[in-house]
Amino acid sequence: MLKKTISYIALIVLGVCFLLPFLIMILGSFKDVQYAQLDPLFWIPDHPTMKNYLYIMRDGIFIRWIFNSVIITVIPVASQMIFCAVLGYIFAKKQFPGREIIFWVFMAVIMIPQQLLIIPKFIMFSDFGWINTYWALIIPELWGIMGVFLVRQFLQNIPNDLEEAAYIDGANDIQIFFKVILPLSIPVVATVGTFSFISNWNDLFQPLIYLTQEKMFPVTLGLASMLGKEGNFGIEMAGSTVSFIPTFLIFLFFQRYFTEGIQMSGLK
Amino acid sequence: MKREWNRNAIVYIFLIPVLVHFLIFQIYPFVLSFYLTFMDWKVIGDPEFVGLKHWKYFLTDRLAWKAIWNTVKFSAYYIVPTMGLGLILALIINSGVKTAGLFKGIFFLPVVTSFVIIAGIWGWLFRGTEAGMINYLLSFIGIEPQLFLSNSSQALAVLAGLSIFKVAGSTMIYYFAGLQSIDRQLYEAARIDGASSFKIFWTITFPLLRPIHFFVAITTTIGSFQIFDSAYLLTGGGPNYATTTIVYYLYEQGFTSLNLSYAAVLSYVLFFIILVISLIQRKYLGQESNNY
């Protein structure tokens, strides 16, 4: 009984600590408050105003940032789900020359930090004319090793019987993938999609390197350029809140896939 | 023959483009970057071969070593608290409380939130004036306002705090999975023997989580060596280079000073550090997986 009480107290205290920053962000977004006049309790609601939201919506550039984020997120997410599903299937179920070695190279390359690849990629993309375009952020993200790994892990645990039965019924490879394998893999493909969404939507480092024009910024980089500069804390918080909404919705509906994916990626 | 094609069509149609993509966007840049470290890469004009010049410079570059030291210090602030908090969160969630699912979501929320959003709020919470929330709270227990992000001995710890807040939720997920896999009969047996909850935790739960401790320690260490976003957003590497981490220094050298070759050297240094950590992980996890 005592243990239960302690658990509940800890749960509530920690829950408040974890939620408070988000609460401050949302409440603060309805306040008209200059940086210079900030006080510690500015976010406690009185005189709420929609001014900040109207400001960022009228500004135009903010809407553009959101639009850019959508472009550089939605396309890689869709593509990652397709390619990782097919490749995971290939590496789990197919026999072809070089299968082991290719997969081994993939797993080795995972150890290369993206910060290492970004310098040569900056030089390559300058040559390609990809600086300040969506291409630099979309094309390299069309599939991912981690996603392939997750789907492969998942499909290795599924018996081959279904597939074999379909072959005997005369189905070809592509039909089997779409009619048998894909429906089975929906949970893991959803995991790949949610991971990809979060990493692309939240990415700051790559946009920072490949983009210099404000109109090409995704919302992360746009918000970063606003930090401090706006002078109005409420506007910053309104911007943060708006950019948080898509993440939050994805999280709300796909939380299960996040947590399952995290477990799968770590503890095979 | 036709049957063979039927059974492998998907391999050739999808694998070939992916391999081409892999060579262009992963293998080629990896090699190019290594080549770059031996060249003087100018924004305009042809690159010039300079041999080991940049590598030698790295050995004597005090700022680079300071950046490595800062990153090690950051890890020291960050790794154990992240693991500890993650474990505590997992224990609470796993203790049979109602609404566990809801709170699991709440603790996980910062993991999916961008650094930019959290940094915006964090910067204000730890503002170095009386207007900052933390200074306001400290005033109740009679502590003078702290400078936090503008104090060179506090800034790195404040950034570590941000990362702990952001990452503890994913550590919790690993620990939660670990806790669920522990055989309940062990607890019951211990309880029949009259062991206290405290004793059960230290003699059963904590040791049985060993593979998780190890795995989480490795992943948080690798993560801590790649820290960049919060330094870029909140301190710009300052004050007085106190928050210039390896990746921040790499960014500054490569993309502010446009010294891409030297940045490539730094990126290889980062790579070697991460490689060593990952190799330790693989060696150790190979042995450990039998116990799990």
Per-residue pLDDT tens digits for B104-158: 899 999 999 999 999 988 888 888 777 788 888 888 887 777 788 888 788 999 9
* pLDDT above 90 (res A37): no
**pLDDT tens per residue across span A65-89:** 999 999 999 999 999 999 999 999 9
pLDDT for position B158: 93
Peptide bond into A113 cis (omega under 30): no
Report which of B162, B154, B160 is spatially closest to residue B123, judged by C-alpha positions: B162
Instruction: Identify all chain A residues contacting B124, using CB atoms and an 8 Å cutoff.
Output: 24, 38, 233
Asked if residue B147 lies in contact with residue B135, where contact means CB atoms within 8 angstroms, the answer is no
Instruction: Please report whether residue A121 resides in a domain.
Output: yes
Q: Confirm or reject contact between B214 and chain A (CB < 8 A).
A: no
Give the integer Cα–Cα distance in Å for B7 and A94.
9
Structure tokens at A180: 């048998």
Confidence of residue B74 (pLDDT cuts 50, 70, 90): very high
Q: Confirm or reject contact between B282 and chain A (CB < 8 A).
A: no
Instruction: Please report whether residue A223 resides in a domain.
Output: yes
Rg (CA), chain B: 24
Instruction: Please report whether residue A54 resides in a domain.
Output: no
| Count of domains for chain A | 1
Q: Confirm or reject contact between A41 and chain B (CB < 8 A).
A: yes
CB contact under 8 A, A115 and B130: no
Instruction: Identify all chain A residues contacting B123, using CB atoms and an 8 Å cutoff.
Output: 227-228
Q: Confirm or reject contact between A264 and chain B (CB < 8 A).
A: no
Residues 40-79, chain B: which have Cβ within 8 Å of A?
Answer: 41
CA distance B216 to chain A (A): 9
Instruction: Please report whether residue A174 resides in a domain.
Output: yes
Q: Confirm or reject contact between A3 and chain B (CB < 8 A).
A: yes
Instruction: Identify all chain B residues contacting A34, using CB atoms and an 8 Å cutoff.
Output: none
Q: Confirm or reject contact between B88 and chain A (CB < 8 A).
A: yes
- Find, in chain A, the residue whose alpha carbon is nearest to that of B174: A263
CB contact under 8 A, B21 and A143: yes
Give the integer Cα–Cα distance in Å for A166 and B6.
12
Q: How far is CA A35 from the centre of its chain?
A: 31
**pLDDT tens per residue across span B189-237:** 888 888 888 888 898 889 989 888 988 888 899 999 999 999 999 888 8
Instruction: Please report whether residue A155 resides in a domain.
Output: yes
- What CATH number should be reported for the domain holding residue A139? 1.10.3720.10
pLDDT for position B291: 41
pLDDT for position B224: 93
Asked if residue A46 lies in contact with residue B127, where contact means CB atoms within 8 angstroms, the answer is no
pLDDT for position B7: 66
pTM of the predicted model as reported, rounded to 2 decimal places: 0.89
pLDDT for position B287: 56
What range does the domain containing A68 cover? 64-266
Instruction: Please report whether residue A21 resides in a domain.
Output: no
Q: What is the mean pLDDT of residues A114-138?
A: 92
Q: Confirm or reject contact between B158 and chain A (CB < 8 A).
A: no
Confidence of residue B2 (pLDDT cuts 50, 70, 90): low
CA distance B167 to chain A (A): 12
Which tops the pLDDT comparison, B27 or B285?
B27
Q: Which of B113, B222, B289 to mutate to test the interface with A (most CBs of A within 10 A)?
A: B113
Reported ipTM? 0.88
Instruction: Identify all chain B residues contacting A22, using CB atoms and an 8 Å cutoff.
Output: 109, 113
Asked if residue A78 lies in contact with residue B189, where contact means CB atoms within 8 angstroms, the answer is no
Residues 119-178, chain A: which have Cβ within 8 Å of B?
Answer: 119-124, 139-140, 142-143, 167, 172-174, 177
**pLDDT tens per residue across span B233-283:** 988 887 889 899 999 999 999 888 888 899 999 999 999 999 998 888 777
**Domains defined for chain B, CATH in brackets:** 60-288 (1.10.3720.10)
* pLDDT above 50 (res A123): yes
Structure tokens at B269: 């240094």
Instruction: Please report whether residue A50 resides in a domain.
Output: no
Q: What is the mean pLDDT of residues B282-290?
A: 61
Dihedral in degrees, nearest 10, Cα atoms A32, A37, A38, A44:
-50
pLDDT for position B196: 84
Give the integer Cα–Cα distance in Å for B251 and B263.
7
H or E stretch covering B275: helix B260-288
pLDDT for position B289: 47
Confidence of residue B99 (pLDDT cuts 50, 70, 90): confident
For B20, residues 6+ apart whose C-beta sits below 8 A from its C-beta are: none
H or E stretch covering A192: helix A182-202
Give the integer Cα–Cα distance in Å for A22 and A76.
28
Instruction: Please report whether residue A48 resides in a domain.
Output: no
Instruction: Identify all chain B residues contacting A169, using CB atoms and an 8 Å cutoff.
Output: none
